[in-house]
Structure 1
Amino acid sequence: MEKGNRVIRIANAPVSYGVFELARPDLVALPEGEELARWISEAGYQGIDLGPVGLLGRGAELTDRLRRHGLELAGGWVDLPFAGADDDFARAMANLDDILDVFVAAAETGPPLAPLPTLADSGSAARKARPGGAPELTLRGDDWARFADRVNIATARVRDRGLEPTFHHHACTYVETPEEVDALLASTDVGLTFDSGHLLIGGGDPLPDFRRWRDRINHLHLKDARTRILHEALQADDPMRSVWEKRVFVPLGQGDLAVTELVDEIIGSGYSGWLIVEQDVVPRSTAEVERAKAEQVANRDALRAWFA
């Protein structure tokens, strides 16, 4: 969709097909980069998220793959231990430039919308044991000040490479609940990746929260979620894995998200940027991989009322 100077382009991501750190390759072979690019292109998306670094290739391999499939790089997950030990954060920052090389290569091809490195917190064992967050797990005082300082350091590093970063609030991390998103926005100048599904998990309300944060939102992840599954998952021995394996994220319109109202609000707000459809799944069989493919076609079709 293009209107005046506003551009909204629609993308999908490898995580919608089970390609992320919770995958079960011991149970089913997952698609490689070439296959994913073809599936996402054939489903009618204009862009693709990076997925694990190297999945889509690097340099000329990456840009050639994107060109052949008529895709652009939309963004990509870059988690850093913002709440971790000093040595852990220093090591992660030392590796950041290598990751940013991938984004720079894609940006240099001159797409209508540049890819946004999507910064996120790595979380902790305590947060992964409590999807949805808890007041006693929220960072405050000096701990939060150190966290925010590190986000500002990473933000500056990305901008030094000629790219604009965004920060992803995410389940099982230290920026998960609306209160924590508010603190991030008050303590940094990084743009926000608004993720409707993770916001539902974190106890937010997507429509009023989108309106409240609109001026800082520079990236969108549109996903639906069933919060009832979250409460079931919290009873499991491994709550984080249980959230994903129990399919808390569902096709658009099948969960708790008011899809029509939110998309209308996004368009009416004048938002310009990537809208990435995500539906995190953990396939455990070939049939479930095929189901993921079909659901991403259905998700794209569901958006054609707004984005042809």
Structure 2
Amino acid sequence: MRVAAAPISWGVCEVPGWGHQMEPGRVLAEMRDLGLAATELGPGGFLPGDKAARDELLASYGLGLVGAFVPVVLHDPAYDPMPEIDRTLDRVDGILILAAATGLDGYDERPALDTKAWSTLLSNLDAITLRAAARDRAVTLHPHVGTMVESRADVERVLGESSVPLCLDTGHLLVGGTDPEWLARFAMRRITHVHLKDVDAGLADRVLKGDVGYTDAVRDGLYRPLGDGDIDIPEIVHTLEGAGYEGWYVMEQDTVLTEEPAQGGGPYDDVRRSLDFLAGVVR
């Protein structure tokens, strides 16, 4: 299996005030000790900005770099996202994992898009896809709660009106109202990257209805270790593998930490349980 990690599983997040931020040394050591092969980049400042220094640091823990999650404003006709995209392509190997950022801090609210904003977003997605391909790089769009591509209607519009590949994030899709099992079957040819999460469906429904904010829900345990929630992870993995999926599976159970966890506890234990579950799925 192509199994990687993401720093958000250790509570390391780009959102200001998200929670306690663990130091890179401990996070990378725990990834290594869990037998993970690689990691996503994480937020700015988590790993060295210098490419050589970053790659040397990761190699010292036996880890590769899968790619980078990049929230960028794509819907504003007055904003050109290409300079930011080019800077990311210059400094990060691997897949560019786009999120259609709102321009606001955090993921608890988002504006509605008019026709012109949607047209701009879709055009930017196609332009970025072509820009990455011209540099022999891959890009994928991450439907994400609190971004401009969140709901099933958003996902279907992107599928129908752009050519950008998709990141199948099992958790964010469900919380946003899209059945990830359906998407794995319906859009298999468009899926180039996978974030595996399990979800408390009751809490997800409260987020979808607006009864609880997204950040509060994450803090309350919205995302669960694989097998502890309500998503049929085995069915999704078997669907993907049966269809010839060759990309990465990234362990990504977003969490909010209030303090430094005990050794062997907290995120380490949750990711270990997820990996054990995934190993059983493969067997």
- Structures share a fold, TM > 0.5? yes
Match of 2:98, SS state, is strand
Partner of 1:13: 6
Match of 1:75 among 45, 67, 70: 67
Partner of 1:59: 51
For residue 176 of structure 1, report the CA deviation from its aligned partner.
Answer: 1.2
Partner of 2:275: 300
- Give the Cα–Cα distance (whole angstroms) in 2 for the partners of residues 249 and 102 of structure 1: 31
Partner of 1:282: 256
Where does the alignment leave 5 or more consecutive residues of structure 2 unmatched?
none
Length, aligned pairs only? 279
1:143-292 alignment runs, 5 A limit:
143-233=117-207, 234-236=210-212, 239-287=213-261, 290-292=265-267
For residue 39 of structure 1, report the CA deviation from its aligned partner.
Answer: 1.0
Change (3 A) 1:15 1:265: same
For residue 138 of structure 1, report the CA deviation from its aligned partner.
Answer: 5.8
Q: Which residue identity is paired with 1:247?
A: G
Q: Which residue identity is paired with 2:83?
A: A
Contact 2:29 2:61 in 1 (8 A): yes
2:87 pairs with 1:98: yes
TM-score norm. by structure 2 comes to 0.89
Contact 1:22 1:282 in 2 (8 A): no
Identity across matched positions, percent: 28
Contact 1:24 1:284 in 2 (8 A): no
Match of 1:149, SS state, is helix
Partner of 1:108: none
For residue 67 of structure 1, report the CA deviation from its aligned partner.
Answer: 1.9
Contact 1:13 1:277 in 2 (8 A): yes
Where does the alignment leave 5 or more consecutive residues of structure 1 unmatched?
2-8, 105-114, 132-136
Contact 1:75 1:118 in 2 (8 A): yes
Please report the RMSD computed on the Cα atoms of aligned residues, expressed in angstroms. 2.5
Change (3 A) 1:52 1:127: closer
2:102 pairs with 1:116: no
TM-score norm. by structure 1 comes to 0.82
Partner of 1:6: none
- Give the Cα–Cα distance (whole angstroms) in 2 for the partners of residues 68 and 266 of structure 1: 32
Change (3 A) 1:45 1:281: same
Contact 1:77 1:118 in 2 (8 A): yes
Contact 2:6 2:42 in 1 (8 A): yes
Q: Which residue identity is paired with 1:235?
A: D
Partner of 1:111: none
Q: Which residue identity is paired with 1:199?
A: L
Worse overlay, 296-305 or 139-148: 139-148
1:34-45 alignment runs, 5 A limit:
34-45=25-36
For residue 202 of structure 1, report the CA deviation from its aligned partner.
Answer: 1.2
